[in-house]
Chain A
Amino acid sequence: MSKAIYKIIISLLFVHISAVSFANVNELSDYYKTVRCLVCEGQSIQESDTEFAINLKEQIQKKYNSGISIEEINQELIKIYGEEISFNPPKYHILLWGTPLIVLLIIFIFIRNKIRFFNRV
């Protein structure tokens, strides 16, 4: 009986370790997809096989394995390489990208009002 319990505990432990390492690998490869390869623009370091991408993946993995969080690694990467290294722009960029849409909306409202005005005339 005790042997059976012992076997179950060992199996559960093994499953747990496998699940944790699988989750870590997933978290890292998800993160690699957000890091831009600077020598092959348009690709992430996850997709690229350049020396730059391979080295960056190794360095990130080393830091991650030593207990540094993805968020901290990301901040360090941006500090070293600048914001162009990240595919995820900071929030204030969204306002800049959204500005043309706001302007278009204003122009649309303006034209609609003008059309209504001329229709009344």
Chain B
Amino acid sequence: MKKHLLLPVVGLIVLVVSVIFYFNQSTNINNSRDEVSSLIFVTPDFYNNKLINENTLGEFYIVNFFASWCKPCLLEHPLLMEMKKKGVKIIGINFRDDEENFKEWINEHGNPFEYILKDDGTIAYEMGLIGVPETFFIVNKIIQKKIQGPLFYEDVESYL
């Protein structure tokens, strides 16, 4: 092979190999869960002790992680109350919280949730939670959207 061709050929090989590995990496990263954790349907509701039947939730529902110690949760609370009024079913998951503080919080600010589950962190782990508040939009049993941090009207308007 001519010497002046060596560099471009080696460069091309490196480029091709890099592109192949880049696409291989992309497909491996995108494997986080797309369904909600089954633990949600085997954990009894905090108030009435009943299990949630996913079939009664309808095509669209929301799973919202919150805690009484979480200040940003208060920011989205009025929006959750409004969504409840508009008929959106919200499963509230109380993340690593003191029971008394949690009850007081609900009494003080209102209950926007159809169901409330207490979570010691196991459901959060299975759902890949990073912090509270965090909200999952479930359409036809598939997680369509995930919002980390407080919800804003723009996040939910297309669902109302």
Contact of B121 among A58, A83, A90, A106 (CB under 8 A): A58
- Contact of B10 with A by CB under 8 A: yes
CA distance A103 to B17 in the complex (A): 13
- Contact of B96 with A by CB under 8 A: yes
Contact with B along A96-112 (1 / 0, CB 8 A): 10010011001000100
Report the interface size class on chain A: 20 to 34
Q: Which of B29-37, B75-83, B110-118 is the contact stretch? A: B29-37
Chain B residues near A106 (CB, 8 Å)?
7, 10-11
Chain A residues near B48 (CB, 8 Å)?
none
Whether B33 lies near A80 (C-beta < 8 A) is: yes
- Contact of A82 with B by CB under 8 A: yes
Q: Is the interface of A mostly helix, strand, loop or mixed?
A: helix
Chain B residues near A59 (CB, 8 Å)?
121-122, 125
Q: How many residues of B contact A (CB 8 A)?
A: 29
Chain B residues near A84 (CB, 8 Å)?
29
CA distance A102 to B30 in the complex (A): 29
CA distance A80 to B128 in the complex (A): 6
Whether A55 lies near B10 (C-beta < 8 A) is: no
Whether B21 lies near A83 (C-beta < 8 A) is: no
The residue in chain B whose Cβ has the minimal distance to the Cβ of A92 is: B21
Contact of B130 among A38, A92, A103 (CB under 8 A): A38
Contact of A56 among B18, B21, B125 (CB under 8 A): B125
- Contact of B24 with A by CB under 8 A: yes
Interface residues, chain A, with chain B CB atoms under 8 Å away: 38-39, 50-52, 55-56, 58-59, 62, 79-84, 90, 92-93, 95-96, 99, 102-103, 106, 110, 113
15 A-B residue contacts at CB 8 Å?
A39-B130, A50-B131, A55-B125, A80-B125, A80-B128, A81-B128, A82-B29, A83-B25, A92-B25, A95-B17, A95-B18, A99-B14, A99-B17, A103-B11, A110-B7
